[in-house]
Amino acid sequence: MLYAQRDELEKLSDPTLTHSFNSLISAPNSPIPVALTIAGSDSGGGAGIQADLRTFAFHQVHGTSALTCVTAQNTLGITRVDPLPAAAVTAQIEAVVSDIGVQAVKTGMLLNAEIIAAVAEQATRLPNLVVDPVMVSRTGAQLIDDAAIASLRRQLLPLAALITPNRYEAQILSGLEIFSLEDMQAAARQIWTDGANAVLVKGGGMTGELRGVDVWFDGERLEILRTDCIQTQDTHGTGCTLSAAIAANLANGKPLFAAVTAAKRYVTQALQHALRIGQGQGPVGHFFPLLVQEKP
């Protein structure tokens, strides 16, 4: 049986089967919408694959996953990261899509150039791709090396329906420094000019009144997206959650801009019910309706 399954996976690389592979994407063997997350595991449960799957479930979307790396982390930080082989990432994607099918895909931490190249090869035939370009943390710490950043820019970003960089990632992608709303707008325009289909520059790393203000640009429409700024230290996983919510809304059939605005509302509500767990930065409350107790 194991050898038969391996043979089937090898057949997926046959160009003559591309049509049937694509047919499974558009006509899934599932009674509900399906989304795929390609990202790392967060052992603390606040971000990565774990956050994405909870977000998909909240939106009544069946969540599938392709793991790229395993992290040892908690609310205080990350102590170890182990990447999976690029071939293992490819095999996971093919296993999901060849049987179940997907209506939307999001990427998170891809970690290295080899994994990024493997995902980009698969992404040419994946629908509604939302790329959270996990390169730099909200505090400005670089998370992947320069070779991986170059691969992400060159191979993956042009395939995305939407990319969702934070302030520091937008600086790298645009080549512009970002300190003001005007800077965010200029960066969004520049990233789009460089080949992105649509851009959402996130303001979570901004200060003052710009914190949480996002800028959308798709080549025609420039929008400033504002929501209530929630005062909480427990914001772990907000970027993962936003991109996963956008993908879930796309899987449910929403147009791209509507998917973005709905996702922002969801993240705001999840922040309002953030979880004060652990000794550091807790996660957002992905399942907040279950946390609200009705008054007697």
Tell me the catalytic residues.
Answer: 202, 235, 237-240
Partners of 77 in the beta sheet? 74
Longest dimension (CA), the chain: 63
Collapsing DSSP to helix, strand or coil, 19 comes out as helix
CA dihedral 153, 154, 156, 158 (to 10 degrees): 90
CA distances from 9 to 2, 13, 66, 256 (A): 11, 8, 15, 32
The one-letter amino acid code at 1 reads M
Q: How far separated are the first and last CA of the chain, in Å rounded?
A: 56
Cα–Cα distance between 261 and 237 in angstroms, integer?
18
- Residue 227: burial class (beta carbons within 10 Å; 0-12, 13-18, 19+): middle
Cα–Cα distance between 32 and 103 in angstroms, integer?
10
